[in-house]
Amino acid sequence: MAEYDVIVAGGGIAGSSTALALARVGQRVLVCEAGLPTEKRLAGELLHPPAVADLEALGVLDDLLEEGVPTYGFAVIEGPKDRGTLLSYSEIPGARASGLAIEHAVLTRRMLARAAEHPNITVLTPARVSDPRQSQNGTTVRVKQGTQTHDVEAPLLVSAEGRASKLRRWHDIVAEPTASYRMIGWKIPHARLPHPGYGHVFLGGSKTALAYQMSATEVRVMFELDEDGGLEVPRDVIESLPRPFREDVLAAMAREKGQVAKVIDMKPTRAIAPNFAVVGDAGGCAHPLTASGIAYCVGDARRLACALTATGAELDGDRLDDALIAYEADRDECMRSRMVLAPALREALYPADDGMRLLRHGLMRYWNQSTRGRKSSLALLSTLDQSLGSMALQYASVSLHALDGVRAGVLPLQKVPQAFGQLARRNLGFLQHALRL
């Protein structure tokens, strides 16, 4: 009998939460982590309430609350003089009223340390997994620790390697990016955010601008850069920030270089293969505007543990195949919603043409005038509602509100017919994208 039931390659958020979720249902798990990121990595730090609930169920929340701060939703700020529109978790009936913000490196370190304390989990780090092959008891992989290399066998191999997963390729799973972006960020002590406790989305510039309190004393700000340009944040984006926050950002930019991260939209062709599953970013990722990557990481851990428990504790042959098929089916619709929502929201909030300008007017009107609108949108953004049908319904409501843009004079009248054409083409494009995924 193999020493482990599951080998998890990668000890980031997806790897640690998968190990914890599987260990809690009795599996013996080996986690190999090649080297956790330092404070220099710019990555996910805002956790929606469903992610917080999943972390609580895994028994790690108390630890994280010691380092992070609660968050209450999003503040959407339409320009330097706007007071902002608040989308609050508390408006969603029955939902947890707060999420969490915590520095990425602290989050990953704390979670892997908690996983290592579990009696069913062995953590090796730094240790890299490669060369998976079918063997008598499932899959055998090579584990490299320093100059030492040894083989380990288990019925199930889980790739939690992040978006560049190599093990995925060994199983002929194709993962082509459909879009790529670059983000640059700074950590600013005592920055004066308009709505501390909320994830801020600043509109009015040509590209994404986000900020949130990530500890009692520090604020994270991040901006999208041109894909092929330099590291300069576009001037119009800086000017869209309200004062005095803008001064705090400019001072941080003058003090130090920002941290840069590449981001892609990508959904692999499959999430499973024989004796193999992907979780977290290895199973797909999207633009950070919706701040949902971590919710997907811990959600995948929960979904995989549920699928394995539903088919019985023993990870063998047909039962394991059935569990993996159930896991893939369970995550597929959620992933499709995510892959449509993130780019659609980005295009609506940072419009590149008149059609999208009308849509943004519709979206802001929907949020400003309708409690149901705010509640339903935030349920989708926070992953509480992951149905494609709800998303289509929301999109239709926003498109109807966009018609008001004509009355409100968002565009000169002679531009309206062309804008409707652009809007119709984009709507069709999103529909085709959803069907292709």
Ligand X SMILES: Cc1cc2nc3c(=O)[nH]c(=O)nc-3n(C[C@H](O)[C@H](O)[C@H](O)COP(=O)(O)OP(=O)(O)OC[C@H]3O[C@@H](n4cnc5c(N)ncnc54)[C@H](O)[C@@H]3O)c2cc1C
Return the residues of window 4-33 that contact ligand X according to CB under 6 A: 9-15, 32-33
Supply the minimum distance, in Å, between the C-beta of residue 305 and ligand X: 16
Q: Which residue has the tokens 């309430």?
A: 49
Range in contact with ligand X (rule: CB under 6 A) among 22-30, 35-43, 76-84, 319-327: 35-43
Give the closest residue to 208 by CA, choosing from 223, 198, 226, 186. Answer: 223
User: Whose Cβ is closer to ligand X: residue 44's or residue 405's?
Assistant: 44
Strands 46-47 and 99-101: antiparallel
Q: How far is 296 from 292, CA to CA, in rounded Å?
A: 6
Element (H, E) at 359: helix 354-369
Binding pattern to ligand X, positions 213-252, x when CB under 6 A? Answer: ---------x------------------------------
**Single residue of 5, 29, 45, 338 touching ligand X by CB under 6 A:** 45
Residue whose Cβ sits closest to ligand X: 293
Q: Is 160 in the site for ligand X (CB under 6 A)?
A: yes
Which is closer to ligand X, CB of 163 or CB of 426? 163
Least distance in angstroms from the C-beta of 337 to ligand X:
15
| Region of residue 414 (left: phi > 0; alpha: psi -120 to 50; beta: else) | alpha
Look at the block and give the residue holding tokens 């992989």. 141
Interface stretch with ligand X, choices 159-167, 172-180, 227-235, 319-327 (CB under 6 A): 159-167
Of 192, 213, 211, nearest to 202 by C-alpha is 211
Q: Which of residues 296-335 bind ligand X (CB under 6 A)?
A: 297
Express the helix, strand and coil content of the chain in percent, nearest 5 each: 45, 25, 35
What letter does residue 172 receive in the DSSP assignment?
Answer: T
Residue listed under structure tokens 């304390």: 117
- Asked if 78 touches ligand X (CB under 6 A), the answer is no
CA gap 8, 6 in Å, rounded: 6
Look at the block and give the residue holding tokens 């953004």.
381
**Cβ of residue 283: shortest distance to ligand X, in angstroms?**
8
Tell me how far, at minimum, the Cβ of 262 lies from ligand X, in Å. Answer: 7
Using CB under 6 A, count the residues that bind ligand X: 38
Specify the residue, 133 or 425, whose C-beta has the smaller distance to ligand X.
133
Q: Which residues 6+ apart lie within 8 Å of 190 measured at CB?
A: 217, 218, 219, 248
Residues that bind ligand X in the complex, under the rule CB under 6 A: 9-15, 32-36, 42-46, 128-129, 160-162, 166, 183, 222, 261, 263, 280-282, 285, 288, 291-295, 297
